[in-house]
Structure 1
Amino acid sequence: MDHGLFGPDSITWRVHADPTYAIGGLRGLLLQALHPLAMAAVEQNGGFHADPWGRLTRTSEYIATITFAPEREALRAAARVRGIHRKLRGRNPFTGDEFRLDRPDLLLWVHCSEVDSLLSVARRGGLDLTDDEADAYLREQVRSAELVGLAAPDVPSSRAELADYFVRVRPELRLTAAARRGARGVVRPPMPGWVQVLTPARPAWGGLAALSMGLLPGWARRMYRLPDLGLTDLAATGALRALRAGALAVPERFRAGPTLKAAKARLSA
């Protein structure tokens, strides 16, 4: 039986199947935007604002594939991503120097922003994980980092190592003009006029995006010129828990993604 890269008993399945997953993904994008080179690379190769829904969908589908799909399918998806990154180049906005998108430091920043966001949002939302299980999730996710080209010894594999990484990298972070544009693309993506007028999509998305902003670490909120108050954390956690409770009240067949449904059907067969 092909359980995929992680399997149904892994912490990775629990975190990535949680209803908070989408909020964690948005938080991860907002965090990633604060690295000048990472954000320059995104903007110079299409830009988040140019195709926000496509970028969100592709990122979500990739993570779902390497999490839940059969191993061969997951490895093929990772190979495609490595191939794309290998070809693309960016230009340093400060020096003008060209750089590769598959630079290890940039890949590591994206990975750490992603796993920190998915894990922290799931735990704050109420997913019952012990500290040891949280560390186990990060150890499992070293495999995900290897898939995009990172060496395992370079990847944080515990909460302490991840916290140390963010301390080291923070001097490199900036709220650049590209970061502002990227954040606006997350918070207020383009929608057809009829969708904005005839559906609650705009205010609903705005609420999710505002919640994702509120769930950023305090130092990141300060960089975005947002309040860094204890009350902000309490309010964001309360809203997140209420949202998760409402989602859990919906039968899983309606809220689970297609890749997770296919994985469960494959394993039950």
Structure 2
Amino acid sequence: MAAGDPGLFGPRSVTWQMHGDPMMWIAGVRALYLQALHPRAVRGVVQNSAAFRMTERGRRDAWGRLMRTANFVGTVTYGTTGAAEQAGAAVRGIHRRLTATDPATGERYGVDDPALLLWVHCAEVDSYLQVLRRSGYPVGDAQADRYLREQRASARLVGLDPARVPADRAALAAYFARVRPELALTPEARQIDDFLRRPPTPAPLVPARALLWRPVAALAYGALPAYAHELYGRPAPPPAAVTRRLRATGRVLRAVPPTLRWQLPPQHILRAVARLGPGTRPGPYKLRDSAAILDGQGTQGDPRG
């Protein structure tokens, strides 16, 4: 695509602002915890990933998997339309080739089952909204609904029919209530839990893992809904205490100048700003007093609103 292409969402979208926030990293870990509680979905991950095999390649792939997910979100949010479509086509191609087996019944099924893709999508967008809002990011109710409408574009890229994807908070809550009886703590979910709490790390970096990673994983876990804590079988921390920690963490991370944070690979935001101009830098201040504007411009769910 030519320079100046705003991509699927564009700098006036809620997605553009939210996805530039550093708390997205904690939100992403929260999403992994939540996604792991769907038995069929988590089997697709564990049975097809070297990350959960005790090999050197698996230790490398464990971190690579997290970075590939972050890179996909960054490309879809800040890349050109062509780059986003290409990233989506690559994901769909991978999913089409992968299957998983139910150990109880022997059933073999594709990981591109729309029900599984929908679970992964909903767990992600719910985590992004929950963590950012509880950490003090100024997303109002109308903007949260707008965000969910926008994210149907991301859902389409991974193979979902956007019309079947929750487009507001009420629909998302209804979806979680409907799927809740299907969730369980399976052996595969325990593997994900173990990985997130103690990811494979070279011996010299184990102290750093305890110092840096463990608080991130604990905060992401604490931000889960009550039913997820019940399934994982660990005491749920008081919600008010978790919210205070999220706010404190958000203040610390947001105090780092954005231009410094954005220097970290893969630099999607810097490339987008270079393509579209300095006025397109994402930031929470751009959401102030914009709920009515966004609602008036985006009633049809156009992600470029």
CA distance in 2, matches of 1:97, 1:130: 44
| CA-CA distance at 1:226 after TM superposition | 2.1
Letter in 2 for 1:144: S
Structural mapping, 1:40-119, within 5 Å: 40-46=43-49, 48-49=51-52, 50=58, 51-119=61-129
CA distance in 1, matches of 2:139, 2:74: 20
Work out which of the residue numbers 209, 213, 219 in structure 2 matches 1:205.
213
| CA-CA distance at 1:48 after TM superposition | 4.2
Task: Determine the structure 1 residue equivalent to 2:285.
Answer: none
| CA-CA distance at 1:94 after TM superposition | 2.4
Letter in 1 for 2:260: F
Task: Determine the structure 2 residue equivalent to 1:268.
Answer: 277
| CA-CA distance at 1:47 after TM superposition | 5.1
Task: Determine the structure 2 residue equivalent to 1:226.
Answer: 234
Listed one character per residue, the Cα deviations across residues 200-249 of structure 1 (whole Å, up to 9, x for unaligned) are 333210000000110000111111112236xx211111111111111111
Task: Determine the structure 1 residue equivalent to 2:293.
Answer: none
Structural mapping, 1:1-269, within 5 Å: 1-46=4-49, 48-49=51-52, 50=58, 51-197=61-207, 200-228=208-236, 232-256=238-262, 257=264, 258-268=267-277
> 1:37·1:93 contact (CA, 8 Å) conserved in 2?
no
Q: TM-score, normalised by structure 2?
A: 0.84
> 1:24·1:121 contact (CA, 8 Å) conserved in 2?
yes
Aligned-residue identity in percent: 47
Q: After the TM superposition, which of the residue ranges 42-51 and 171-180 deviates more from structure 2? A: 42-51
Determine helix, strand or coil for the equivalent of 2:151: helix
CA distance in 1, matches of 2:73, 2:225: 23
| Structure 1: stretches of 5+ with no match in the other structure | none
Q: TM-score, normalised by structure 1?
A: 0.95
| CA-CA distance at 1:46 after TM superposition | 1.5
Determine helix, strand or coil for the equivalent of 1:39: helix
Cα 1:93/1:15, change in 2 over 3 Å: farther
CA distance in 2, matches of 1:267, 1:146: 25
> 1:85·1:101 contact (CA, 8 Å) conserved in 2?
yes
CA distance in 1, matches of 2:136, 2:104: 42
Listed one character per residue, the Cα deviations across residues 133-152 of structure 1 (whole Å, up to 9, x for unaligned) are 00000000011101111111
| Structure 2: stretches of 5+ with no match in the other structure | 53-57, 279-305
Determine helix, strand or coil for the equivalent of 1:90: strand
Give aligned pairs, total: 265
Letter in 2 for 1:27: R
